Structures are given as structure tokens and as C-alpha cells.
Chain A
Amino acid sequence: MKVKKPKDALTAPLEQAIEEQITKKDLQFAAYDPEAGERSGYSNYSYWGSTLRCFFKNRVAAGFMLVLVALLLFTFIQPLLPLQFEANLIIDHPITKKQMSNLPPAVTNVAATAPAGTRLLVHPFDSEEWAAVDNVVSTIKARKEFTVLEYGEEWCYISYGDEEGYVRNDFTTKIKFPDDQAATPYQAKSNFPLSLYSSPSDLSNNGDALFCLKSQLDMDGNTAVARQDVPLRLLPDTRPFLFGTNSAGQDLWAKVWSGTRTSLFIGITVAALQSLIGILVGVLWGYVKSLDKLLTEIYNVIDNVPTTIVLILVSYIMRPSVQTLILAMTVTGWVGMARFIRNQIVIIRDRDYNMASRCLGVGTSRIILHNLLPYLVSVITLRLALAVPGAIGSEVFITYIGLGLPLSVPSLGNLINEGRKMISTSQSYQLLFPTIILSIITISFYIIGNAFADAADPKNHL
């Protein structure tokens, strides 16, 4: 039925009256005015904005966020810093080619300091700047007699042939003394070969030469005298072993940071992939009832094929590498996430507000995106935050059962596993440092995850 428009004669005056009242001023864009907004019931509440604000109100969590970001940045900055070693470089002594293994952590590589005036022996070493020195003047063969000139609890001043110097007096040398040790001089001997030092301290690296700047010595053939207090270094440069070295003679500092980079990369990638697939599948699994049976059976299948078999096969086919680990951990890990989401969805699927939406004919995808997922943001973020350390932890486990990354690709997993062997020795620092870093990462993710989950609950926003 068509209604005929009334002719202008009637409405024209009215239109004219309206036009007179509406001026240009009324047609301009209004700026946002909070007070006016309040009056009209408009709110500038934004969910993510409030979540972030609420999150940063939690000082502890924000602090850990800072720590984590700093740690992440540092793993990238560390190789660019000065005085760094290559992570996989096996550090040899430049002269004897012995590996510099199990050196304790220290802030400098100065092993000893030669006081001014110390006589040092110079070893042949081809360098303009550095000299290889120690204070071992000569060696006394086993069971040779020498004259003790002055007896000391730790060092004895002796003369042997035409040399005078100090020998160590402890359980390693077992010098045979007469009954009255203080009544010098007398003859003595040891059943072991002795080193004759020019000063009462051991200025060597377990018998190997140390290094110092030539400019600090008065050189005279193959001996030299220290012109000042000379720092003697382990290597002919100034790079320190901050975390010590491992049993293969590699710098642990470089290895730990390189390993942290690898492990964080693996952890974050795996967590992201897992949750992407997991959330997608989990939501469908939980919400779409006709898929429930099928996906439950698929879950049962995947969950029960042992991870170890998959790992062995994947690394057999593709060689152990970072990609292989990520693939294997994602393939085996997403089902856990999917099941978690599914359980959450099943719980809220039939709540009244969803029933209402369904009755109004809202589509599945809209219900999922607008009704279900926002409800789960807090639990999902917690789970996501825990997935990262979880992935790093399972890397440790995979290394434990012998399927991890090769030692040439440092990761927290293989560093901890190597360190574990040293747990009750004096080299336990090799376990300590990677463990500390791992703990910092895990604690940060845990606290950030929890704080974010709290912040993501809109009821906490006020």
C-alpha cells in the first residue's frame, strides 16, 4: 500500500521554522567532554586500557615485567658488548694448549698479582704487547737434597745449586724435615719433584704461564723484574670469565646468555603456537557438541602416543635442532591447551546468557568471540604465561632423557643438565647460574601471568 506524500503546502512552514532554528553552529563536530559524557551515560571505558592500568598498578608485577624485558633485551645485547667470548669457543692456554676448564667465576681474569720487584721467568710467546711469565725459577727433581735457609709454615726459603728461592711446604710436597725444623740451615728433601719459586706465592696457572703487559716489566733475556705491582692474567687479554668456565673450557657467561636466548625463543614460540592451535581447537571442541565426540577421541589418541616416541622419531628424521624441538613440543603440547580451554567452555557453555544469545539467533562465531572468550581472558593469560616456562622446563626434561639439543647449541636445558653432574663438587656454580636465570624467567612469567589474570577480570577494574 502506497501512502501519498502530503503536498508541500502544509509542511513547508514547519520545515522553514526548523531550518531557522538549526544554525551552522549546531552542525559542527562536538569534542569529547567527560562531564557531558557522564550526563548522557557515555563511558570511555576500554577493556584493555583498564586491564593494562590495573596491571601496572601492581608494582611487583610491573617490576618483574621490567626484569623480564631487561633480561630478554640483554640476551640480544650481550654478544655486542665488548670483552665477550664466543659461546662455543673452547679456550686453550696459548702456549700449552691445555683447555682452560673449570675456572671459577671472577670479575677479572687477573689470577695473581706480582708485587713490585718480583723476579719472573719469561716464556717464549709471540706477542708485541703481552709477555708470558711465571715465577717458577727452576725445578728440583724428586729425592734431591737442598738446603733450607728459613723455615715457614707454608713456604720455605731454600738454596739449591746456585739458585735461591721458595718451595711450598704442604701436603702436596711432603718435604722431609729434621725434628727441630726451626734450627736452620739444614738439608732436606722431598719424594716429589718441587718447583722453586722466586717469591713466596704461586704466580702461575697450575704450572702454566700467566700473562702481563710487557711495558710493566724490566725485561732481561728470559727473566724479568716487575717494575710495579703487575696483574698477571689467565689470557693475553682482559676478558673476564664472569661465570667461570665449564669442563670443556668454554666461557659460561657467554654460554648462559646464548642458552637463555635459545630457551626463551623456544619457550615463547612453543607457547604462542600451542595457544593459537589450542584455543582454536579447544573452543570448537567445547562449544560445538557435534564435534565433541570426534575431538575427544582425537585428543585421546594424540595424548596417549608417548611424547618420547614422537621426539625420537622427529629427531631421527630431522636431526636435533631448535626447529625440531619446537615442532615436537608443539605437536605434543597443543592438546593440553585445547583440553584446558574445552573444559572451561563446557562449564560456561550452557549458562543463561549464552542460551539467551542462542535464542536470539546469534551465530556461533559471534557467541564464541563475544560471549565465551572474553569470559576466559583471565584463565587463558595465566595458562599462556605458564606455557613459556613450561616449554623451557620440558626442554630441560627432554635433555635429561638424552634427546635435547646438541651441546654446540647452548640452551638452559643442556647447561642445567651438564651442571647437574657438578652439583656436589666445587664446580657447582656451573649448575647455579643457569638455574638462577631459569628461576628468574619462571618467577617473572608466573607473577606477571597471575597479575595479568587478576587485571583482566573486569570486576577488579573499579
Chain B
Amino acid sequence: MAKYILKRLGTSLFTLAVILTIVFVLVRQMPIEGYFDNFDKLDQAVIDARLKQLGLKDPLPVQLKDFFVRLIHGDLGTSARYAVNVSISEIIGKKAPLSIEMGVISMALSLVLGIPLGAAMARSKNKFWDQFGTAFIVFVSAVPAAIYYIYIQSFGSTLLGFPMLFSRDDWRTWILPVFSMSLGNIAYYAMWLRRYMVDEMNKDYVRLARAKGVKEKNITMRHVFRNSFVPMIQYIPTSLLYTVSGSIYIESLYSVPGMGGLLVDVIARQDNPMVQALVMIYASIGIVGMILGDLLMAVIDPRISLARKDSAR
């Protein structure tokens, strides 16, 4: 197992390099106009000087080599346009903890609410909890997030008296954004857990267990739930990543100074060093998440083997 993990990590480093190279090349295909606020009014000389300063005049392989050499030394570079000449690690170091905190809380909330909801729905198929849960899931997935977020904000602040804008030290301001963020995930977990559990409940071994007189509660928890949770577990590390990277809608609605929308923002402003740094961070979390997902799945379900080579073609 350890060998397998090491191998995966080794190939992941290579993958990361490929991703960075692709992104590096892609962002340099963007139009030159994007690097300037008032491109039309500038002299060619000024433009050339600025491009040289940004290091865009060198041949591409040289730029790429410089970038990787700096990266290996642990230097992410400085922001070119987002916050001019501020070191990127400083910008991210300031913004990331808030998004991570928020993401982890909302993730925990969605697991705590979503999993029991899904299990309750599967157990009471076509009865109250199932119908309640279905209505909730349908609502959350039917109404665009951008819209129900706005309604949650306006109702939460007018009817329930929660503050409209986020402030780090006031716990009451956390409730609305965290709750809004969790809704989608709660629905997602509940929906898939129900699907897998319902599929599982029809299987022969469950029928046998029932025929043997095993208590319904034990069947659900020991057999059905455990087996249905296997495909779910793969998504948990990845969706943690998505909550950590912040929600662009929510952070702009409540003016949370987090990472949400940072990537979109810097791409739109063509701040190449920032784009590369952010992609590197997100990609690393994503790859680690994928490995973790595979490992968790193998741990929970012994029938799944990742390392064994001879079991399939």
C-alpha cells in the first residue's frame, strides 16, 4: 500500500508539472490588450517596456524554465496586476484561511445534515421523509444558486435579523453564508446516498438478512449504509476542495474577503503569476483529494483493490 501511495504521489508531481506547463502556455496565448488598462492610448514603446517588465518578451521555453526554477526555490513570484508587486504567498496567506475555515464548517454541516437526510429518505421510501427530502433537493437543484442565495440574504437579514455583511469576529455573520454554501452539498449528498441505498436495498444479501430476521436498523446501518457509502466517499475529499476554494457568489454577496472568485478575477485581469500560483494550489489539492478518495474507498470496501495488478485486464 505504501509503495502504491508513493508511486501515485510521484506520478502526481509529474502531472502537476504538465498542468502548470499547459496553463503557463495557455495564459500566454491571451490577447496582449488584456495586460493594460488603456491599451489604445499607449505608445508602442511603453507597451514594449511593460511587456518586458512582465517577462513576456522572452521566448516561451525560457520563460517556462525561469518559472520552474523559481518555483523549485519556493518562490511563487509577485502579483502583476491584482495587487501590483505584492508577493503572491502573502496575498493567498491572507485570503485562504478564511475560505478554508468557512469551507470546512460548511462541509461539516452538509455532511451532518445531508447523510442522515439521505439515509432517512431511503429508509422511508415514498413516505414523509422521502417526500420532504425530494422536495428540498428538487428546490435546491431547480432554482439557480445565484438566485436563492440572494433570497436567503434578504430574508435572513430582514426577517431573522442576521447581519447582511460578513465580519470575521462576529459569529452571527457566519450563519447565513455558511448555511447558503451548505445547501447545495446537503442536497447532493442526500440525493446520491438515497439513490445508492435504494439500489442496495433490493440486493439479494439484504433480502437474505431480512429473511433471517436481522433487525431493520441493523440491515440499514451495517449492510446497506456501509455499501452505499463506498461510492460517496470518493467525492468527499474533492468536494472539500471546492468548498475551500470559496464560492464566488457568496463571497461577493456578503463581501467575504476570501478566495472565492479570486481565480476568475485574476484570469480576467490576466495576472499570469497569480493564475499559475492559484492553479498550482488548486491542482495539488485536487490531486491529493483524488488519491485520498481512492484510498478511502479501498479502506472501506475490501473487495476493491488498487495495488493488485492481476485482478482485471
Q: Give residues in A with beta carbon < 8 Å to B.
A: 287-290, 293, 296-297, 299-301, 303-306, 308-310, 312-313, 316, 343-344, 346-347, 349-351, 358, 364, 378-379, 382, 386, 389, 393, 396-397, 400-402, 416-417, 420, 423-424, 431, 435, 438-439, 442-443, 446-447, 450, 453-454, 457, 459-460
Lowest 9 A-B CB distances belong to which pairs?
Answer: A304-B283, A442-B142, A459-B202, A439-B142, A300-B15, A443-B142, A297-B15, A308-B267, A304-B19
B218 within 8 A of A: no
Point out the residue from B15, B147, B303 that lies within 8 Å of A431, measured CB to CB. B147
Given A309-B23, A316-B30, check contact A304 B144 (CB 8 Å). no
Please determine whether B11 and A293 come into contact, CB atoms closer than 8 angstroms: yes
Establish whether residues A350 and B311, one from each chain, have CB atoms under 8 Å apart when the complex forms.
Answer: yes
B268 near A: Cβ within 8 Å?
yes
Q: Is the CB of A289 within 8 A of B202?
A: no
Docked-complex contact A300 and B142, CB < 8 angstroms: no
Q: Give Cα distance in the complex from A287 to B303, angstroms.
A: 15
Q: A83 to B152, alpha carbons, bound, how many Å? A: 39
CB closest chain-A residue, reference B196: A379
Please tell me if B58 contacts chain A, counting CB pairs below 8 Å.
Answer: no
Decide if B67 is an interface residue (CB 8 Å cutoff).
Answer: no
Give Cα distance in the complex from A347 to B228, angstroms. Answer: 11
In whole Å, how far is A23's beta carbon from the nearest beta carbon of chain B? 48
**Residues in A neighbouring B31, C-beta threshold 8 A:** 316
The reply on B312 being an interface residue by CB < 8 A is yes
> What is the size, in residues, of chain B's interface with A at 8 Å between Cβ atoms?
55
**Smallest CB separation, A26 vs chain B (Å):** 43
With both chains docked as a complex, state the minimum distance between the C-beta of B189 and any C-beta of chain A, in angstroms. Answer: 14
Using known A-B contacts A316-B31, A439-B142, determine if residue A457 contacts B19 with beta carbons closer than 8 Å: no
Q: Which of B18, B27, B154 contacts A301 (CB 8 A)?
A: B18
CB of B143 closer than 8 Å to a CB of A: yes
Query: Are A443 and B147 in contact (CB-based, < 8 A)?
Result: no
What does DSSP make chain A's interface, helix, strand, loop or mixed? helix
Decide if B81 is an interface residue (CB 8 Å cutoff). Answer: no
Say yes or no for B305: interface residue by CB 8 A criterion.
yes
Q: What CA separation (Å) do A305 and B263 show in the bound complex?
A: 11
Q: A312 — which chain B residues lie within 8 A by C-beta?
A: 30, 267-268
Return the chain B residue nearest A293 by Cβ.
B11
**B147:A435 contact, CB within 8 angstroms:** yes
Cα A436 to Cα B68 with chains together (Å): 50
Tell whether, in the assembled complex, residue B312 and residue A287 are in contact, meaning their CB atoms are under 8 Å apart: yes
B195 touches A350 (CB 8 A): no
A400 B11 Cβ-Cβ under 8 A = no
List the B side residues contacting A439 at CB < 8 Å. Answer: 142-143
From B11, B144, B198, B301, give the contact of A347 (CB < 8 A): B301
Q: Which residue of A lies closest to B143 (CB)?
A: A439
The one of A305, A364, A424, A446 in contact with B142, judged by C-beta atoms closer than 8 angstroms, is: A446
Interface centre among A389, A402, A446 (most CB of B within 10 A): A446
Find the B residue at minimum CB distance from A286. Answer: B312
Say which residue of A351, A447, A457 sits within 8 Å of B199 (CB atoms): A457
Q: Which residues of A contact B263 (CB under 8 A)?
A: 306, 308
User: A303-B286, A344-B231 given as contacts; is B141 within 8 A of A401 (CB)?
Assistant: no
B236 CB within 8 Å of chain A:
no
User: With the chains together, A299 CA to B275 CA distance in Å?
Assistant: 20
Interface pairs (20), CB distance under 8 Å: A289-B312, A297-B11, A297-B14, A301-B15, A305-B22, A306-B23, A306-B263, A308-B267, A316-B31, A344-B231, A349-B311, A349-B312, A350-B304, A358-B313, A379-B195, A416-B146, A438-B143, A446-B141, A446-B142, A457-B202
Q: Is B150 an interface residue (CB 8 A)?
A: yes
Q: Is the CB of B231 within 8 A of A343?
A: yes
A381 to chain B, nearest CB (A): 11
CB A86 to nearest CB in B, in angstroms, measures 27
B12 at the interface (CB under 8 A from A): yes
Contact B141–A442 (Cβ < 8 Å)? yes
Closest to B17 in A: A301
